[in-house]
Structure 1
Amino acid sequence: MRLSCSVSADSVVFCATDDSSDSEGSVESNQSCRNEKTLPERLEILTNQGLLPAVKVFLDWLRANTDIIVMCAQSSQSLWNRLSVLLNLLPDSRKILEAEVPLCEEVSELLSACERPDLHQTLPLPEDVALRHLPALRAAHKRLDMDRESPTLSTLQESVVRLSCIRSFGHFLTRLQGNVLHFNPEAGIFTSVSQSEQENLLQQARAQFRMAEEEARRNRLMRDMAQLRLQLEVSQLEGSLQQPKAQSSMSPYLVPDTTALCQHLGLLRQLAGSGRFMIIIPRTVIDGLDFLKKENAGARDGIRFLESEFRKGNRYIRCQRESGKSFERHKLKRQDSDAWHLYKMVDSCRQLTVSQGSGEEDTAGMVTILTGFHIEDITALSPHMQAAIQAVAVAGIELKNILEFYRQWKEMG
């Protein structure tokens, strides 16, 4: 189960939904969710997450440095978007007081004032005590009497104090020059102010939901990748015990090159649609398609196919962004562009395996590069291409002709 949320004119609703649903189904189930969390349950969830102390410390520092907020208001829209999502997840003071959550008098007074921008915290929290001597937070702690004997707060009451400070900071941002956040009293939600002042409340709320859905989609992708890797390990174990010489497993990650996309797009569609493989498209392959699109109809078809799948959010076809140190040999790029692109793909595959395993021994057989070239007779290829193919083998990556890989997959059923 996972926790999802929806914002209405009256409340923020926490719902329990099944992780097994895809993105379209989860959006629909969220809208019609009947298993709503009660307010005490929501407070317990926020408490158990253990993240509110760090958020409060960061916002205490920001409140004492308003010049930084104003200066970076327009360039930090992602931060304000995420902060507004958090503020909308936190229940307001009226709902907590109406729910009769057991609070001491001082916490209740603090909660009653949290919907104002000038809340003065009087109860020190554990994080305040731990950071009492930090110069950067001196302004935030100057109203706290660390030596005074304060009432012993439960973890729930500590969370309510943090919640009060965070919501007060949200109202504080609505008063700052530069319109960092807006608060709609009728809907009871915070919204960030984008560079386009003409965006209305509904559009901004939808943007928040899209951002939350994108994060959920990324989490599902990582879970799917882990599941595919587990399937590979189980299949390899079965093959080693029952069929030592049989090819009982196939790599879960397939990385097609430009020729495979241009010449065998139909086969790639079937592989992607099987749900058995994760198709990874490195940046160098996209660049290659873009270079060929003027004269190669297959390249244009490949580009349209990828654009369509990326737009739909197909979890089995992913574009890989370049990161870390990449292969660069400009002279080789002029001499043998095919070898140069293969080296670039090896670099991308290494980045993929490093992100999925703790060492090379853990990732052998995880990735297969699919090519449209016939590689049965390696001596017929250029010396640069032969060296690139050897680099593929050294990296623990398989290189197969897509027709041969497809035939093997069909034979295995």
Structure 2
Amino acid sequence: QSSQSLWNRLSVLLNLLPSAADLQESGLVLCNEVKDILSGAELPDLKANLLLPEDVALRNLPPLKNAHKRFNFEQDRPIFSAVEESVVRICCIRSFGHFITHLQGSILQFNSELGIFISIAQSEQDNLLHQAQAQFHMAAEEARRNRLMRDMAQLRLQLEVSQLEGSLQQPKAQSAMSPYLVPDTQALCQHLAVVKQLATSGRFIIIIPRTVIDGLDFLKKENAGARDSIRYLEAEFKKGNRYIRCQKDVGKSFERHKLKRQDLDAWNLYKILDSCKQLTVSQGSGEDDTTGMVTIITGFQLEDPSTFSAPMQSAIQAAANASVEIKNVLEFYKQWKEMG
């Protein structure tokens, strides 16, 4: 009872959530188990025994031991949609609110006429309407503050991206290095340490296409470098490193199935080039010159392209026609270090 702000915020949360009647009238498609829970959402003793993912995750947490006695953790957890899981959570929270209002001396009350929860001190119980207006105002302020925080986070992200990609608008002497680097499978397997340094420099964004991940997966049984690269990438993706990004499938592209059987290296380079083209399209406005925006860094030696197969030479030429540079990863690293 001494923490008025706690009850105020709890009432705001309860009033932001839709009531059982609102959910029933929304036309949501729900399974029978969830419908049964929904019918008791406005009661203080909701008989809910449907397992949610958080119940399983917190199964052995001592403070919840008594609350979990009603669950049967041995049976398979029913499969609910994301909407159905959300409805169950809302029902449990709303029912908890009604439970609190029935506690002796509670300063949280439910006004059935207004259909809202109200947090009031004992001396203020005669001014329900005023309190209701205050609660709605608090809810509006909370929503405004949340929007402001989201906008600030978005502006911060835009600033970071613009700083990282600012080299595109800088003088040529400062913008000789592409902000986006796309390593191939050979670069990762043979020179992972170099790729790591490029990623941690804060100067480049490393893009990992799906075809490169597939290539590492294909080599992992026999190639230690592939296994090390997979472990490294998994750890960075899990941490959410913004300088290393996994590019999803780029959609429809010319698959070149015959080429895949004849020359796998050329096929992989074409697939990586497809990813680079998609990246330049997503980052450019259509009128911007995207020359130099993306560089493919490879483990292959490129001093004498004539030593490559005809399909590989064609793939290299296709990259040049698309204004995508291809450089040996060690040569690129050396050039970057020399530029300071």
Shorter chain as denominator, the TM-score bin is 0.5 to 0.7
Shift of 1:257: 0.3
> Is residue 61 of structure 1 aligned with residue 31 of structure 2?
no
Contact 1:229/1:252 (CA < 8 Å) preserved in 2?
Answer: no
Alpha carbons of structure 1 residues 389 and 158: separation in structure 2 relative to 1, 3 Å: same
Q: 1:304 to 1:360 in 2, by over 3 A?
A: farther
- Unpaired segments ≥5 residues, structure 2: 36-76, 119-131, 140-148
| Separation in 1, partners of 2:108, 2:235 | 48
Aligned to 1:303: 230
Match of 2:116 among 111, 115, 118: 111
Kindly provide the CA deviation profile for residues 305-353 of structure 1, in whole angstroms up to 9, marking residues without a partner as x. Answer: 2233334443322222214213411110011111100111122223333
CA distance in 2, matches of 1:262, 1:78: 39
Q: Which structure's relative contact order is higher, taking Cα pairs within 8 Å and 6+ residues apart? A: 2
AA in 1 matched with 2:9: L
2:196 aligns with 269
Q: CA deviation at 1:247?
A: 4.9
C-alpha distance in structure 1 between counterparts of 2:296 and 2:322, whole Å: 12
| Shift, 1:382, TM fit | 1.8
SS at match of 1:294: coil
Aligned length, in residue pairs: 263
Within-5 A mapping of 1:24-103: 39=9, 60-62=26-28, 74-82=78-86, 92=97
Partner of 2:180: 253
- Deviation of 1:86 after TM superposition, in Å, equals 7.0
TM-score (norm 2): 0.60
Distance in 2, Cα, partners of 1:99 & 1:386 = 75
Q: Distance in 1 between matches of 2:281 and 2:154?
A: 17
Distance 1:38-1:237 versus aligned 2 partners, 3 A rule: farther
Q: Give the distance between the partners of 2:168 and 2:176, measured in 1 at CA.
A: 6
1:353 aligns with 2:285: no
Pair 1:284 & 2:206 matched = no
* Distance in 2 separating the partners of 1:87 and 1:363: 52
Assess if the C-alpha contact under 8 Å between 1:39 and 1:99 holds in 2: no
CA distance in 2, matches of 1:276, 1:37: 48
| Unaligned stretches of 5+ residues in structure 1 | 1-9, 11-34, 114-152, 161-215
Q: CA RMSD in A?
A: 4.6
Letter of the 1:238 counterpart: Q
Q: Cα–Cα, structure 1 residues 78 and 62, in superposed 2: closer, same or farther, change >3 Å?
A: closer
1:380 aligns with one of 295, 299, 307: 307
Q: Alpha carbons of 1:401 and 1:229: their partners in 2 closer, same or farther (altered >3 Å)?
A: farther
Offset of 1:254 from its aligned partner?
1.6
By how many angstroms is 1:406 displaced?
0.9
1:75-102 alpha-carbon deviations (Å, 9 max, x no partner): 544334455677789995799995899x
Q: 1:234 to 1:296 in 2, by over 3 A?
A: closer
Question: Residue 393 and residue 62 in structure 1: after superposition, are their counterparts in 2 closer, same or farther (change >3 A)?
Answer: same
Report if aligned partners of 2:276, 2:294 keep a CA contact under 8 Å in 1: yes
In the alignment, the residues of structure 2 paired with residue 341 and residue 99 of structure 1 have an alpha-carbon distance, to the nearest angstrom, of: 64
Greater Rg by CA: 2
Distance 1:68 1:253 in 2: 50
Instruction: Flag the 1:89–1:342 CA change in 2: closer, same or farther, 3 A.
Output: farther
- The TM-score, its normalising length taken from structure 1, stands at 0.50
- Which amino acid counterpart does residue 296 of structure 2 have in structure 1? I
One-letter amino acid of the structure 2 residue matched with residue 301 of structure 1: D
Q: Which residue in the other structure is 2:65 paired with?
A: none
SS in structure 2 at match of 1:326: coil
Distance 1:38 1:409, change over 3 A: farther
Please give the alpha-carbon distance, in whole angstroms, between the structure 2 residues aligned to 1:36 and 1:412: 57
Distance 2:98 2:219 in 1: 60
**Cα distance change of structure 1 residues 282 and 84 upon mapping to structure 2, 3 Å threshold:** farther
In the TM superposition, what is the alpha-carbon distance from 1:386 to its structure 2 partner? 1.9
What's the counterpart of residue 236 of structure 1? Answer: 168
Q: Go from structure 1 to structure 2 and tell me whether the alpha carbon gap of 1:86 and 1:338 turns closer, same or farther (over 3 Å shift).
A: farther
**What is the letter of the counterpart of residue 168 of structure 2?**
Q
Shift of 1:291: 1.8
Q: Report the 3-state secondary structure (helix = DSSP H, G, I; strand = E; otherwise coil) of the residue aligned with 2:208.
A: strand
Change (3 A) 1:368 1:222: farther
Q: Report the alpha carbon displacement of residue 360 of structure 1 after superposing the two structures with TM.
A: 6.7
Supply the AA of the counterpart residue of 2:83. L
Residue 290 of structure 1 and its aligned partner are, at CA, apart by 1.9
CA contact (8 A) 1:256 1:280 kept: yes
Q: Is the 8 A contact 1:232 1:251 kept in 2?
A: no
